[in-house]
Amino acid sequence: MKNKKIIYIIIVLILGLTVFGVTKIFTKDNNEEKTENKPSTTSSTTVTTTTTTSATTTTTTTTTQKKTTTKTTTKSTTTTKTTTTTKKVEEKTEKEDNGSLAGTSSKGYEITYKNGKYYVDGYLIVNKTYKLPSDYNPGSLDSKTKSAANEMFADFKAATGTKMWAQSGFRSYDTQKSIYERYVRRDGQKGADRYSARPGHSEHQSGLAFDVCVTGYSCISSGFNDTAPAKWLDANAYKYGFILRYPKGKENETGYKHESWHFRYVGEELAKKLYNDGDWITMEDYFGITSKYAD
d(CA 206, CA 125): 9
pLDDT digits (tens, 9 = 90+) for 5-37: 666 667 656 666 555 554 454 444 444 444 344
Pairwise CA distance, residues 217 & 160, whole Å: 13
Instruction: Using the CB atoms, write b or e for 80-102: b if 16+ within 10 Å.
Output: eeeeeeeeeeeeeeeeeeebeee
d(CA 150, CA 143): 11
Mean pLDDT rounded to a whole number for the chain? 79
So what's the pLDDT on residue 237?
98
Q: Which residue is catalytic, options 32, 33, 90, 259?
A: 259
Q: Which of 124, 113, 95 is nearest to 206 (CA)?
A: 124
Sheet holding 242-246, edge to edge: 164-168, 209-214, 259-265, 242-246
pLDDT at 37: 41
Secondary structure E strands in 132-282: 164-168, 209-214, 242-246, 259-265
The predicted pLDDT at position 92 comes to 32
pLDDT digits (tens, 9 = 90+) for 33-83: 443 444 343 333 333 333 333 333 333 333 333 333 334 333 443 333 333
- Taking the C-alpha atoms of residue 266 and residue 272, their distance in angstroms, rounded to an integer, is 10
Task: Give residue-wise pLDDT tens across range 226-245.
Answer: 999 999 999 999 999 999 99
Q: Alpha-carbon torsion 168, 146, 142, 126, what sign?
A: positive
Residue 181 annotated among the catalytic residues of the structure? no
pLDDT (0 to 100) of residue 295: 87
pLDDT band at 212 (very low <50, low <70, confident <90, very high): very high
Q: Is the pLDDT of residue 271 over 50?
A: yes
Torsion of CA 120, 123, 128, 133, to 10 degrees: 100
Query: Would the pLDDT of 140 be above 50?
Result: yes
pTM exceeds 0.85, yes or no: no
Minimal CA–CA distance to 244: which of 295, 203, 215? 203
